[in-house]
Chains A and B, each alone.
Chain A
Amino acid sequence: MRIVVCVKQVPDTSEIKWTENNTMVRDGVESIMNPFDGYAVETAIRLKEKYPDVTVTIVTMGPPQAKDVLKRAIAMGANDAILLSDRKFAGSDTVATSRTLAKAIKEKIGDFDLIICGQFAIDGDTAQTGPSIAEHLGLPQITYVKEVLSCKNKKLTVNKEIEEGIQKVECSLPSLICMQKCDYEPRRPLIRGVMKSNRINIPAYGFEDLGLDTSEVGIKGSPTFVSKAFRPPVKDSGEIINTPDKKEAVEILVKKLREKQILV
């Protein structure tokens, strides 16, 4: 049984700073494996440990340095990986990205039973790439998955988190699932894994290798584009009550809230 995991290299968005001219400082921001994809990789490796016939293949699309996240996934325990990298892929929205990933999975990986994606990427936060890959490949999907309960005999059972609780959902294989944050954390690679990831050959494929049309990838293949990007408006600062006696501070606060009819 082959499991394919789609991962993305993202900037660590908790580190983003702004210049005085309201432009984002991108230099020096660390690139990491998208945290939700970490859960996807961990889930795949857990299935590999549970079912001996499982192999795990990782795929990413990005600049050449995105190979780092593939190496990390191999160091965690994945079998192999492929990189999709080409200037022609740049500027892809979720439609073009998922079309490229789906085509590469079909052409370069071929047989698979399960595709696992992270629910969101922390930079784009669209949650669209996974379902769109499933659509391009004609697969059933389960999103917001918390836990894979079993994956055998061409059937998958998972727990899915919805607003009102947990659904236990069954699905035929092949299929695609999107992982939410799990109750377990992605493992840290061991030295042996890191050494393996340094030895292994990671094939890289470009536009010419996938047999797509130029109108299907990158900016040309993207129905949407960003017409404007701006910093979220900053609110005027409010009133800080800074009396040394905190009981008094609370009294002042309650009085103000009552005067303004906020508390009645």
Chain B
Amino acid sequence: MTVDLSLYKNIWVMAEINVDNKLTGVTSELLSEAQKLVTKLDNEEVCALLITDNRDVNPFIKELSEAGADKVYVAQHDKLRNYSTDLYSKVACDAILEKKPSIVLVGATTIGRDLAPRISSRLNTGLTADCTDLDINEKSLLAATRPTFGGNLMATILCPKTRPQMATIRPNVLQATEENLSNIANVENLEVKIDSLESRTKILDFIPTASTLKCHTRIEEADIIVSGGRGLKNSEGFKLLEELATALGGSVGASRAAVDAGWRCHSEQIGQTGKTVSPKIYIACGISGAIQHLAGIGSSDTIIAINKDPDAPIFRVADYGIVGDLFEIVPALTEAIKSMKADTAAV
């Protein structure tokens, strides 16, 4: 089966709306990135596909335009209030088959990673998972780079013969543009053909994490993260990190070891199987720095490591490190920050 590649053009970004009725951060990150990629293509556009119910979409269209969309395709239907694999995959596939984008980018969120493989398998095309870098190569193909083997190896993957070329991209890895692109996107409403279709899955109940456990669910949005690992010894040890985080106005994160030990929630886990973060300051306390953890913190502005083992791999990626007992160093650091803030306030 050969596909006439010349029929396919434009870069699409799947817009995702979260439970708070806001566009996810990764949607804007992907639109910014798509604007960079599209400059390497001939006469193509950046389009967003917005799938939702009959709510007011004007605020989303404005936001998508400002983030970089030249065109917004809107697919609305009452049945699309909540994400459903069955219904969303049908609507997305219909749209892709009709409009023939060359590239489709999807945020690697729980929804994106549920949806994208259904679309790619149905359309018999390639999908590269959980990418951390995108480029257009000399043959105008999407070159999607991703960590593999638990972050030990980076692989650049191409999809030369089928279309669209699809990729899911980790949130918080690509930079969303700070500036408002003041684009005004064209809007096209798509016909949604799901009247006779019912979702085979049904959401019966939802329990927000924050209501059951004292967890930081949006650690990826924090500017400062104080993170702890096995070296904290137990969940009590994390109190020291809470204090430091409070003094700095940051959040607490955890390594997989600390989460596996049951000291912290999974929503706070940072690394290959947890979240990718890109804070201004990342303070790793008692974290040895397994490659899987480092995969989640690489785009932090400044990494500070506190560890008693001078040979811990975390020191190899840290901008600053203190070798020693964290139970002595962290409280001292908390005090130093507090007195610094008190001095600043006094001035």
A residues at B contact (CB < 8 Å): 11, 13-14, 16, 18, 24, 93-95, 98-99, 120, 122-132, 134-136, 140-144, 157, 161-172, 175, 181, 215, 222-232, 234-235, 237-242, 246-247, 249-251, 253-254, 256-258, 262-263
Determine how close the nearest CB of chain A comes to the CB of B136; give it in whole angstroms.
13
Complex interface: chain A residues within 8 A of B159 (CB)? 223-224
Known: A95-B120, A164-B209, A165-B208. A171 touches B202 (CB 8 A): yes
Q: How far is the CA of A215 from the CA of B201 in the complex (A)?
A: 33
With contacts A125-B129, A246-B325, A262-B280 taken as known, whether A226 is within 8 angstroms of B155 at the C-beta atoms is: yes
A164–B212 Cα distance when bound, in Å, is 11
Nearest Cβ on chain B to A156's Cβ, whole angstroms: 9
In the bound complex, what is the Cα–Cα distance between A99 and B125 (angstroms)?
A: 12
Given contacts A120-B273, A232-B154, contact A239 B319 (CB under 8 A): yes
Bound complex: CA A126 to CA B128 (Å): 8
| A-B contacts, CB under 8 A, total | 249
Beta-carbon contact of A249 and B324 below 8 Å: yes
| Interface of A, helix, strand, loop or mixed by DSSP | mixed
Cβ-defined contact, A128 with B329, below 8 A: no
Q: Closest approach, in angstroms, between the C-beta of A209 and any C-beta of chain B? A: 22
- A166–B152 contact, CB under 8 A? no
Which of B110, B154, B212, B322 is A249 in contact with, Cβ under 8 Å? B322
- 8 Å CB contacts to A: which residues of B139-167? 143, 147-162
Residue in A95, A131, A171 whose Cβ sees the most chain B Cβ within 10 Å: A131
Minimum Cβ distance to chain A for residue B265 (Å): 11
**In contact, B201 and A142 (Cβ under 8 angstroms):** yes
In the complex the two chains form, what is the Cα distance from A254 to B118 in whole Å?
Answer: 50
Bound: A14/B150 CA distance, A: 7
Please name 11 pairs of A and B residues whose Cβ atoms are closer than 8 Å in the assembled complex, sorted by A.
Answer: A14-B290, A165-B207, A166-B212, A224-B158, A227-B156, A228-B155, A240-B315, A246-B332, A249-B329, A253-B304, A262-B280
Contact check, A226 vs B156: say whether CB atoms are below 8 A apart: yes
B291 contacts which chain A residues (CB < 8 A)? 16, 232
Q: Which residues of chain A have C-beta atoms less than 8 A from B157's C-beta?
A: 224-227
Whole-angstrom distance from the CB of A251 to the nearest CB of chain B? 6
Question: Which partner residue on chain A sits nearest B150 by CB separation?
Answer: A13
B18 near A232: Cβ-Cβ < 8 Å = no
Q: Which of A125, A161, A230 has the most CB of B within 10 A?
A: A125
Q: Which residues of B contact A98 (CB under 8 A)?
A: 121
Which residues in B have their C-beta under 8 angstroms from that of A122?
Answer: 150, 273
Q: Is B86 an interface residue (CB 8 A)?
A: yes
Of all chain A residues, which has the CB nearest B301?
A262
> Assuming A163-B18, A235-B316, is B206 touching A24 (CB within 8 A)?
no
Residue in A169, A228, A247, A249 whose CB lies within 8 Å of B201: A169
**Inter-chain contact B320/A135, CB cutoff 8 Å:** no
Pick the residue among A120, A175, A228 that contacts B156 (CB under 8 A). Answer: A228
The verdict on A126 contacting B129 (CB below 8 Å), with A141-B114, A163-B18, A234-B316 known, is yes
Which of B32-40, B42-50, B59-67, B333-341 touches A? B333-341
CB within 8 Å of A: which B150-209 residues: 150-162, 200-209
B148 touches A124 (CB 8 A): yes
Query: Which B residues are in CB contact (< 8 Å) with A128?
Result: 113, 116-117, 120, 127, 129
Docked complex Cα distance between A131 and B88 (Å): 14
Q: Which residues of B contact A18 (CB under 8 A)?
A: 152
| Interchain CB contact (< 8 A) of B148 among A14, A123, A256 | A123
Cross-chain contact A240 with B321 (CB below 8 angstroms) = yes
Whether A143 and B110, one on each chain, are in contact in the complex, defined by CB atoms closer than 8 angstroms, is yes
State whether A16 touches B310 (Cβ < 8 A).
no
Q: Give, as a whole number of angstroms, the nearest-CB distance from B275 to chain A.
A: 9
